[in-house]
Amino acid sequence: TYSETSRAQLGHQLAKPLALLVVPLHRFLCDLMLPDLIQVTVVKDPAEFEKNYPLYAAVNRCAKVVERHTGRIINLEYVGEGDIQNTVLLVGKGVTYDTGGADIKAGGVMAGMSRDKCGAAAVAGFFQLYVIDDSELIFQTLAMLKPKGIKVFGTMAMVRNSVGAEGYVADEIITSAAGARIRVGNTDAEGRMAMADCMHHMKLKALAEKVPTHILTIATLTGHARLAMGPAYSIVIDNGPAARTKFAQNIQKAGHDMGDPFEISTVRREDYDFVKAHSEYADVLQCNNSPSSRTPRGHQFPAAFLIRASGLDKPLCYSHFDIAGSSGTFPQVPTGAPVVAMTETFLKSHC
């Protein structure tokens, strides 16, 4: 069984003030994960960011000036016993603090932006969720259930969106790891920048697998999501291959049964048109210069951006979760959404 308390604990830990700093946060996670079950590797070399994660590197460029703020890409891997039947690949947005960058969050809206890492927290929670019960740690999800026949990759894109002279700015054109030329439109759309290259590397892993795969991005991505669906609901958006498996409907049912509810949205041709750069020197537009809450289809078009920027042009199942509403209202304790629904959907049949 899964309680509201259990699903919130890891998110609560990652939301503490210490977790504003990327370096101690990654050490905390490395200490938390059980090494005999979950492999943890950390990318921290700025040169590797520039080479393999150029969009992420753009966001990290300003933060890396301060050592305690410099980014980390934390990779997790779990391989169940027996023949692997399917592989799940998760990418979580882990923005430890979001100032908005050069397009700064003005007018008092910066408060609560320490919570912009709840997508990465959900990835960590899926691997190793714990609760305090009679002063003992009880490990659940992958670490406790030890499901057989499933492989799970997780990437936590941990970065701080700082503001300063080294910050990336609108009008920059940055080539993604997939080779797409990205024109920056708004530095406050840093989450999709941090995740897109990570998603590209997950795509390469998925293509190498011999079993069915599913790629997911999880992020507190847009204010539009909360405006459209309210504060209690995660949003799921499937690409075509995922829609044919009815993944969105399946996780919505699991969430309904487990008290971790979802609403379903759709990525459409208008979203792909929106992210076209419409110029000869760029391929993809990162964002417009308006808040998502004042942009039509403000939570749908980012999924199209992630697909285009990551080069996801193969028939691989991909779903995007926007948890800007469901992650919780600051300063209340984060909810841990959507870990429970994910566990019910992906792990139940393997236990």
Q: Mind telling me the catalytic residues? A: 105, 192
**248, 264 in Cβ contact below 8 A?**
yes
Query: Residue 92 half-sphere exposure, CB side, CA atoms within 13 Å?
Result: 31
Which residues lie across from 236 on neighbouring strands?
A: 264, 321
Q: How far is CA 72 from CA 21, 45, 188, 269, in A?
A: 10, 8, 19, 34
C-beta neighbour count of 290 within 10 angstroms: 12
The count of C-alpha atoms lying within 13 angstroms of the C-alpha of 126, restricted to the half-sphere facing its C-beta, is: 33
Closest by Cα among 295, 303, 306 to 265: 303
Taking residue 51's Cβ as centre, other Cβ atoms within 10 Å add up to 11
- Under DSSP, the state recorded for 19 is G
Own/partner pairs for 269-273, CB < 8 Å, 24+ apart? Answer: 270/297, 270/301, 271/297, 271/300, 271/301, 271/303, 271/304, 272/304, 272/307, 272/308
Q: Among 29, 21, 19, 71, which Cα is nearest to 50's?
A: 71
Using DSSP bridges, classify how beta strands 150-161 and 86-98 pair: parallel, antiparallel or unpaired. Answer: parallel
